[in-house]
Structure 1
Amino acid sequence: MEATTSLVLSILFLFLSGNTRVEACNFHIINKCPYPIWPANAANQGHPVLASGGFYLPPGEQRKIQAPADWVGRIWARTGCKFGSDKVPACETGDCGGKLWCNGLIGSPPATLVQIALQQDKNKPSFYDVSLVDGYNVAVSVTTIPYSSKCHIGGCKRDINDCCPQELEVLNDKGEVVACKSACLAFDNDKFCCRNAYGTPSKCKPTVYSKIFKEACPSYYSYAYDNPPPLVNCVSDDYLITFCPSPRVSEIESE
């Protein structure tokens, strides 16, 4: 599914140009889930891995990681991880080869992806979105610090794992739904994957499955050619990424 997940991110990268350089930006990552998560990141080619590619984040905790001001890549949450054994995958969702530190490895879908293309020119905006093109595991919100409503990507109206069609469900060892595949990931069909004969916006349309995603999480990409594109562009040096945000809270919390 790598070609599919990279489609929107490649579009973001094409927007970037400029001369006034910024040294670095910060990602403030908060875990509001009632369980621990292991945030991870993977950079586009030519960009560095951040924080060794992953770390542990208990419920209610947050961590700041620094990125070069022109960084391009993705951030996601891994869940249900049990490291310290030879078990692969070590995580129920978002696993990267059974490793705590992903070191550039891309997480296994389905996983909710935050896709970011920072802009090194301080006079031009950075671009970011949240994608369910390969599926969903947890809700996430993204905004700038200080908060601006036009720079905010909200969480979901409901947990997609609670309304995931049975044919898309990912179950853990206890039989619990821990993630929901996209139709592309589940069926590997051109129509659902927006490829080959369906590889243009005019040919690839919303499906019954992508509409379920869109209804639950209207601020996210529900499929590759989601229209209008739920793409945010804002100027900032600090971004707040909150996993499992409250669906009713639009303002950010102070650190």
Structure 2
Amino acid sequence: MAFVQLLVTSLLILVTKADVAIDIENASSDVYWIGILANPGLPIPSNGGFVLNGGQTTTVSVPDNWVGRFWARTGCDSGTNTCQTGDCRNGVECAGNGGAPPVTLVEITIKGDGGQDFYDISLVDGFNVKASIQPIDGTGDCSTAECESDVNAACPEQLKDGDYACYSSCAKFNTDQYCCRNELNFHSLMIIISPRVPLKFQMITVV
């Protein structure tokens, strides 16, 4: 993957390999606090987070064997150092903490199995903002991964986190049925949020 474009609701991430430069753009008018978490033993850019104003772009660098995730934190308050969604309990810089569900995750694995790069939008922890990621000038099957529907607008009452976010069934109820574990580990699971929003959630391996 030579170049990756990632959009989270209004957040655009461009990934260029060298060391890997990742451009993160907030295409909305809202202010996001970006969260970053790497796999154990790998560096965490910007100590895990930074403020990204509407229309702003910030670049971070990671090594070319990096595995980690990005997420947008919304409704953040610099006075209390907390966010309504995706909060990591550590202020602007998450410093190794993950984001609290429900939150949309953008996941990247560089030089994974077979030396290939992998990327996805994960809703296994729920949804707070729209997201997409698209490689540019890559080789192989470099299609766009995206969640471009407003899941919050169609979220069932029992999965709502106020008006700000929507839990996944697994994150909310934590049962084998919804989390595909134990005897249900190999069962496929499809959740249709609403007839108006034909979204399908496929269980993935979270990095």
Is TM > 0.5 for Structure 1 vs Structure 2? yes
Is 2:97 the partner of 1:105?
yes
Given residue 101 of structure 2, which amino acid in structure 1 is its aligned partner? P
Secondary structure of 1:105's aligned partner: coil
| More relative contact order, 1 or 2 (CA 8 Å, 6+ apart) | 1
Given residue 189 of structure 2, which amino acid in structure 1 is its aligned partner? K
Offset at residue 130 of structure 1 (A):
0.7
More helix by percentage: 1
Give the alignment partner of residue 132 of structure 1, picking from 84, 107, 123: 123
Secondary structure of 1:106's aligned partner: coil
Is 2:168 the partner of 1:182?
yes
Identity across the alignment (%): 37
Once the two structures are superposed, what CA deviation does each residue of 1:119-169 show, in whole Å capped at 9, x if it has no partner? 189x94311111101100001111224488952425434211111111100
Segments of structure 1 that go 5 or more residues without pairing to the other structure are 1-21, 172-176, 227-255
Secondary structure of 1:55's aligned partner: strand
Is 2:87 the partner of 1:95?
yes
Distance 2:140 2:74 in 1: 29
Distance 1:146 1:116 in 2: 16
Secondary structure of 2:170's aligned partner: helix
Once the two structures are superposed, what CA deviation does each residue of 1:20-45 show, in whole Å capped at 9, x if it has no partner? xx751111111123311111110111
Larger-Rg structure: 1
Is 2:189 the partner of 1:205?
yes
Closer, same or farther: CA 204–144 of 1 in aligned 2, 3 Å = closer
Distance 2:23 2:60 in 1: 7
Given residue 115 of structure 1, which amino acid in structure 2 is its aligned partner? E
Offset at residue 67 of structure 1 (A):
0.7
Is 2:156 the partner of 1:165?
yes
Decide whether the 8 Å contact of 2:31 with 2:54 is kept in 1: yes
Given residue 76 of structure 2, which amino acid in structure 1 is its aligned partner? C
More strand by percentage: 2
Segments of structure 2 that go 5 or more residues without pairing to the other structure are 1-16
Partner in structure 2 of residue 222 of structure 1: 201
Given residue 124 of structure 2, which amino acid in structure 1 is its aligned partner? V
Offset at residue 213 of structure 1 (A):
8.0
Q: Give the aligned CA root-mean-square deviation in angstroms.
A: 2.8
Distance 2:182 2:112 in 1: 35
Given residue 212 of structure 1, which amino acid in structure 2 is its aligned partner? I
TM norm structure 2: 0.80
